[in-house]
């Protein structure tokens, strides 16, 4: 007796290769388009000088890697007609606004834009839920104290508190915060700010910053060009 096996034979190698190539092309296309849940990091050159002492210059002094200083991180939400940014800034507090507003807010003094680096979770299946989590914090003020024990939030704190597992775990780690520049001194901005609010600079207290967050192993960089 001859066994009838033609109807259940394994697909040919050529078919497998074509399917694999199609999947690769789709993946590459997705990596070039901003997606909901992507994190947008704002970077300035290490030698870029902002006018006067500012939050941006103080953060870049404290967290710079010597090449590109990441001074901010924001959450992307891609809608049908509009791309939104959810982030925490001094100007807006925790806010959701069109990405064009984000670009205007971070335009440099010479009229050019900083470097935007887009990173995505390697496991992205809960991205939409993380974005929804972030909306629970809308309306909160910006956290100039960089404290985990108040209702205010700074940019990377918003991301860390939004990107949590259903069990309550954090995707991003807290590390000792650094407010010092490369020479080991506190920038004038931090000295003035914390003197004004009557507390010591929280050097080495647990917290987050965009530079460290960008290096977390749960993220991968994607080839999205902004704007």
pLDDT at 47: 56
Q: What domains are defined for the chain?
A: 35-221 (3.90.1720.10)
HSE on the CB side for 124, CA within 13 Å?
16
Which of 146, 141, 162 shows the shortest CA–CA distance to 76?
A: 162
pLDDT at 167: 96
pLDDT at 1: 39
Cα 36 to Cα 128: distance, rounded to the nearest angstrom: 6
Cα 175 to Cα 213: distance, rounded to the nearest angstrom: 10
This prediction has a pTM of 0.81
pLDDT at 55: 63
Average pLDDT of adjacent 10-residue blocks, the chain of 227 residues: 37 53 53 96 72 64 71 96 97 97 92 94 98 98 91 97 96 92 83 88 93 95 96
pLDDT at 180: 87
pLDDT at 15: 59
pLDDT at 156: 97
């Amino acid at each position: 007796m001859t066994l009838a096996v033609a109807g259940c034979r394994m697909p040919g190698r050529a078919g497998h290769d074509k399917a694999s190539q199609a999947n690769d092309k789709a993946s590459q296309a997705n990596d070039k388009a901003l997606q909901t849940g992507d994190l947008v990091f704002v970077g300035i050159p290490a030698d870029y000088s902002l006018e006067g002492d500012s939050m941006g210059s103080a953060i870049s002094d404290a967290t710079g890697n010597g090449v590109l200083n990441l001074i901010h991180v924001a959450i992307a939400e891609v809608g049908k007609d509009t791309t939104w940014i959810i982030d925490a800034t001094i100007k807006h507090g925790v806010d959701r606004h069109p990405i064009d507003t984000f670009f205007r807010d971070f335009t440099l003094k010479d009229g050019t834009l900083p470097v935007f680096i887009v990173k995505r979770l390697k496991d992205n299946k809960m991205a939409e839920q993380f974005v929804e989590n972030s909306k629970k914090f809308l309306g909160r003020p910006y956290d100039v104290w960089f404290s985990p024990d108040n209702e205010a939030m700074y940019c990377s704190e918003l991301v860390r508190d939004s990107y949590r597992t259903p069990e309550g775990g954090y995707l991003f780690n807290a590390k000792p915060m650094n407010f010092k520049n490369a020479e080991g001194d506190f920038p004038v901005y931090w000295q003035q700010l914390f003197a004004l609010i009557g507390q010591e600079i929280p050097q080495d207290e647990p917290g987050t910053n965009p530079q460290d967050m960008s290096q977390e192993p749960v993220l991968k960089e994607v080839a999205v060009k902004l704007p």
